[in-house]
Amino acid sequence: MNKLLKIRILQFNRELKGAGFGWLFLIGTVALMMKCAYVALIDNKLAMLVPSVLLLICTYIQINRSDKNFVYKHIEQPFLAIYAEYALLIAPFIAMALFTKNWYLLLITYLLLLIIPLIKISPAPKTLFPGISKIIPAINFEIISGLRKSFFPLLILYLLALAFSWFRIAPLVFLWLITMTFISFYDEGESLTILREHAISIKDFLKRKMQRHALYMFLLYCPIIFIQAAFNPDLWIINLLFIPLQIIILCLAICLKYANYKPGEKLIAGNGTMSIVAMMSLIPYLLPIPLFMAFENYSKACNNLNKYLND
């Protein structure tokens, strides 16, 4: 158990060093999210939302994590090791329950959390929709590849968002999980042949990719947000900022991909940073932070791509 936690701590420290002053944003973000959790927990109508979201996030991570086989085969007491990971992840937020009359939710959350390490299923690696490039242009290969891998989980999440679209906040959580899935589409570098296929400037290349992919996200999320806004007009500011924030997270994922791009290689660097920033996208008021980081990594992406496109 200690071995796995040590690995996670080392990975986290490496990401913080690579993030520069991003650790300041992280501290501020965690503090603000703790405040939001506290505000929700003192409201009897919203209190159950906090443990529900936290458990849903842990379940999503557990189903989609790629190291399950390694952990269960090579780590001592894998159940406790995985449980400890998730327990530490949600601790700052669910601990806020101790300062409210709904303190018992902390105990319930940690009891229910015991179920999650037992989940050993993973998305089936089947190739779906071989003709999808007739609908989505092949230039959007990340989206095509991602949909082939994750179509059914995405479909379920979208149908849930649609089914609960008139509930307060609930559909936004499902859309956020879709965003989390989207950003995983950008964790592998394409070959140099594909990269060089379109002879345009580096800045145009990045801007056009972000514009195309942002349009797909905008069209996908709009119907849910319109219904949510119609039934919950008092949440207009949250609904107004939600899609722009998700698009910024998507653009940041693209910039991080090319800031750390190596032809044909799985991208490891930046994954921790992306996970941290993705958590921010649950809170629309944090929009300036990922926006700043997107601009910062856009410059890094331009410099990195310059080595491959102008050599």
* pLDDT 10s digits, 160-204: 888 888 888 788 888 988 998 888 888 888 888 888 876 578 889
Pair 210, 251: CB distance under 8 Å = yes
| Side chain identity, residue 129 | F
Question: pLDDT: is 225 or 165 the higher one?
Answer: 225
* DSSP one-letter code for 188: B
Label residue 77 left, alpha or beta by phi (over 0 means left) and psi (-120 to 50 means alpha).
Answer: left
Q: What is the dihedral of CA 64, 69, 70, 71, to 10 degrees?
A: 80
pLDDT of res. 310: 73
Model confidence band, residue 285 (pLDDT cutoffs 50, 70, 90): low
Look up the pTM and report it: 0.65
Q: What span, in angstroms and rounded, lies between the C-alpha atoms of 265 and 308?
A: 14
pLDDT of res. 97: 94
- Mean of the per-residue pLDDT values of the chain: 82
Pair 218, 247: CB distance under 8 Å = yes
Q: Where would I find the H helices in the chain? A: 2-18, 22-41, 49-64, 68-74, 78-94, 104-112, 141-163, 170-183, 192-195, 202-231, 236-259, 271-280, 288-309
Average pLDDT for 50-59: 89
User: Does residue 124 carry a pLDDT above 90?
Assistant: no
